[in-house]
């Protein structure tokens, strides 16, 4: 499982010319899954994301988490996080989890965030989305949790 975490001052996702989700201060997440990912990887990521200390405290030091600031999340499914460009010029997405399974994991990921009392806005899995956000800092962190299949 891979998640790109971007600290933002605002973010929105537009689908078919309509705003589908919008947040103010918080995190914009790009979320991708691979074969073998499960609830185990999701639980690890949820805990890591909500407790990641990447927001400034009163001294301007990144010492506060999303929980500390009461921020929100915009979660966007992103199979291209598993694009492999090691051969040729066209990325291969063979490592990206197939649609039905990935959709279920994406829904579970967002539900687990909500279960932690996070305000979560989402895109629509598989939709053509336009994402607009202001990266605050800029701060961008790549998180990855290998599942047991990837470790071999």
Q: Is 78 in the active site?
A: yes
| CA proximity to 109, closest of 33, 56, 25 | 33
Query: Catalytic pick from 78, 109, 125, 133?
Result: 78
One DSSP character per residue, 82-104 reads: G-B-SSSSSPB-TTBPPHHHHHH
| CA proximity to 116, closest of 63, 43, 52 | 43
Query: Catalytic pick from 33, 55, 79, 109?
Result: 79
Q: What share of the chain is helix, strand, coil (3-state, %, to 5)?
A: 25, 40, 35
Dihedral of CA atoms 45, 36, 128, 115 in degrees, nearest 10, equals -40
Cα distance between residue 106 and residue 144, in whole Å: 15
Q: Is 34 in the active site?
A: no
Q: Is 111 in the active site?
A: no
Q: Which residues are catalytically annotated?
A: 78-80
């Amino acid at each position: 499982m891979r998640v790109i975490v971007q600290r933002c001052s605002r973010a929105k996702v537009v689908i078919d010319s309509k705003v589908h989700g919008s947040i103010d201060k918080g995190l914009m997440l790009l979320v991708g899954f691979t074969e073998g990912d499960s609830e185990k990887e999701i639980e690890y990521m949820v805990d890591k994301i909500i407790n990641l200390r990447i927001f400034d405290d009163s001294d301007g030091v990144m010492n506060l988490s999303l929980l500390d600031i009461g921020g929100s999340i915009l979660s966007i499914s992103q199979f291209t996080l598993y694009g492999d460009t090691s051969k040729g010029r066209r990325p291969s997405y063979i490592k990206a989890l197939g649609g039905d399974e990935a959709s279920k994991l994406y829904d579970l990921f967002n539900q687990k965030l909500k279960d932690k009392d996070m305000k979560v806005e989402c895109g629509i899995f598989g939709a053509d989305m336009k994402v607009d956000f202001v990266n605050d800092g800029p701060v961008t962190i790549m998180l990855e949790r290998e599942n047991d299949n990837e470790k071999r």
